[in-house]
Amino acid sequence: MACTDHSKMTALPPTDFNATLSARDLAAIWHPCTQMRDHAAADGAGVPMIPIVRGEGAWLIDANGKRYLDAISSWWTNLFGHANPRIAAAVKDQLGHLEHVIFAGFTHEPAIQLAEELLRIAPPGLARVFYADNGSSAVEVALKMSFHYWRNLGSPGKTRFIALTGSYHGETLGALSVTDVPLYRATYAPLLLDPIFIAAPDCYERESGESWQTHSLRKLADMRAALERHAANVCAVIVEPLVQCAGGMRMYHPAYLTGLRALCDEFGVHLIADEIAVGFGRTGTLFACEQAAITPDFLCLSKGLTGGFMPLSAVLTTTSVYDVFYAEYTSGKAFLHSHSYTGNPLACRAALATLAIFRDEPVLERNRVLATRLAERLAPLADHPNVAEVRQTGMIAAVELVRDKFPRAEFPAAERRGLRVYRHGLDHGVLLRPLGNVVYFMPPYVITPEEIERMVDVAMAGIESAVA
């Protein structure tokens, strides 16, 4: 912990704690989703590396004591604030009992209780929980389980998946295969599976005057056509319910999911709902699927599952899927997938404490008030000449920046306008991390109305300077 014990670093002037840690970091670490060269010039065009030593509610505090409002919940993981005392206490308590145990042949009460609790709150019909330790791994599990289900049933010809354009499901090779964000996928395309991509119901693309519902329902025709042609070879359709997050916070109407569930049933393919980003209240309901009154065959959860404390993921599935794997060992039907940290007890305790907060506090009701406030504060941006759309689903809001509004013309990606917003945010104590030209807000649920004001004010000023 020497890195946070500033009293021992007396040789340095107080303002240099950030610089010292940043220099040590950049000499030793290779960061995710980062062109490391961007950090080389911390002045001028460069991007600073910011060492965080403490978190408190919606705030992150760097080594020099500067505070940043975490408008993106640290990659959409945090729900109830950094260093949330209730979740921290649960993890601390578990540390005194059991940090980890092999999860094959052995079990523990936190994992059992968490599975029972997840099945209680999840859409009806889900009856089994398979644990993994991050979002991408959960997607790998769902893809493999679906394929293996059909194989066990004697349909080995089902080898392909259907995904939506603009989708994001993770970075491991299977999850990346069903991802359609060129920035992440294009380089590795030669290594990937060959899914069928179908036009998303993305309402940013709707005709002028068309409602979200009409547009989303219209897009089901493309899915039907794909299933008519390919269903015999398709294991599953995988979607991000209601909001395609990493693809630019593109949103659609729940009616699409209801229709998609019916199509999957009609054509005999599974439906995988990747609620890794949108689960646990982000879209206004505990799970996004609830708004469409559907139960997927596989529900992938991670991120907010532990309140943002620990890596953990879970794939929930049905008894009818489970039963197809349940056989004599020698039949080779078992699902032999495993990760060393499957069902980690510390992570399960963090998750149980997170779910206890949902149980004990009116989280979704409070979020409705916060979401309304966010919508009111963002509304004026809709008229901005460089804003094509302001959209929102629950606690996720996004502002789409464009060079021209009518007709829409994008800013070239190479201009990195979003990066200008990011830097402006950091200068003014707000962590915004636009996705290309989409500035978005996905704050922890403990954000206050005053903090929403501040977050939006800083973003608006950042947008002004970025589009200039």
Interface residues with ligand PMP (CB under 6 A)?
A: 134-136, 139, 168-170, 240, 245-246, 274, 276-277, 302
**SS3 (DSSP) at 239:** strand
| CB nearer to ligand PMP: pick between 246 and 456 | 246
| CB nearer to ligand PMP: pick between 139 and 263 | 139
* DSSP sequence for 271-283: EEEE-TTTTTTTT
| CB nearer to ligand PMP: pick between 62 and 170 | 170
- Which of 126, 241, 235 has the alpha carbon at shortest distance from 177? 235
| CB nearer to ligand PMP: pick between 277 and 355 | 277
| CB nearer to ligand PMP: pick between 257 and 456 | 257
205/166 Cα distance (integer angstroms)? 12
From the centroid of its chain, how far is CA 435?
13
With CB atoms as reference, the residue minimizing the distance to ligand PMP is: 135
Are the beta carbons of 133 and 312 closer than 8 angstroms? Answer: yes
Are the beta carbons of 314 and 303 closer than 8 angstroms? Answer: no
Q: In whole angstroms, how close is the CB of 409 to ligand PMP at the nearest point?
A: 28
Q: In whole angstroms, how close is the CB of 343 to ligand PMP at the nearest point?
A: 16
Q: In whole angstroms, how close is the CB of 300 to ligand PMP at the nearest point?
A: 7
Strands 234-239 and 243-244: unpaired
Q: In whole angstroms, how close is the CB of 452 to ligand PMP at the nearest point?
A: 23
- Which of 321, 290, 355, 343 has the alpha carbon at shortest distance from 126? 321
Which DSSP state fits 44?
Answer: T
| CB nearer to ligand PMP: pick between 18 and 342 | 342
**How far lies 358's CA from each of 273, 351, 361, in Å?**
21, 11, 6
Q: In whole angstroms, how close is the CB of 345 to ligand PMP at the nearest point?
A: 19
Which DSSP state fits 361?
Answer: S
Are the beta carbons of 70 and 305 closer than 8 angstroms? Answer: no
| CB nearer to ligand PMP: pick between 279 and 456 | 279
Q: In whole angstroms, how close is the CB of 245 to ligand PMP at the nearest point?
A: 5
Q: What is the dihedral of CA 227, 230, 234, 240, to 10 degrees?
A: -40
Cα 271-274-279 angle, rounded to 5 deg? 125
Q: In whole angstroms, how close is the CB of 6 to ligand PMP at the nearest point?
A: 32
Cα 114-246-464 angle, rounded to 5 deg? 125
Which DSSP state fits 288?
Answer: G
| CB nearer to ligand PMP: pick between 411 and 440 | 440
Q: In whole angstroms, how close is the CB of 14 to ligand PMP at the nearest point?
A: 35
| CB nearer to ligand PMP: pick between 245 and 387 | 245
Q: In whole angstroms, how close is the CB of 392 to ligand PMP at the nearest point?
A: 18
How many residues does the structure list for the chain?
Answer: 468
Peptide linkage before 51 cis (omega within 30 of 0): no
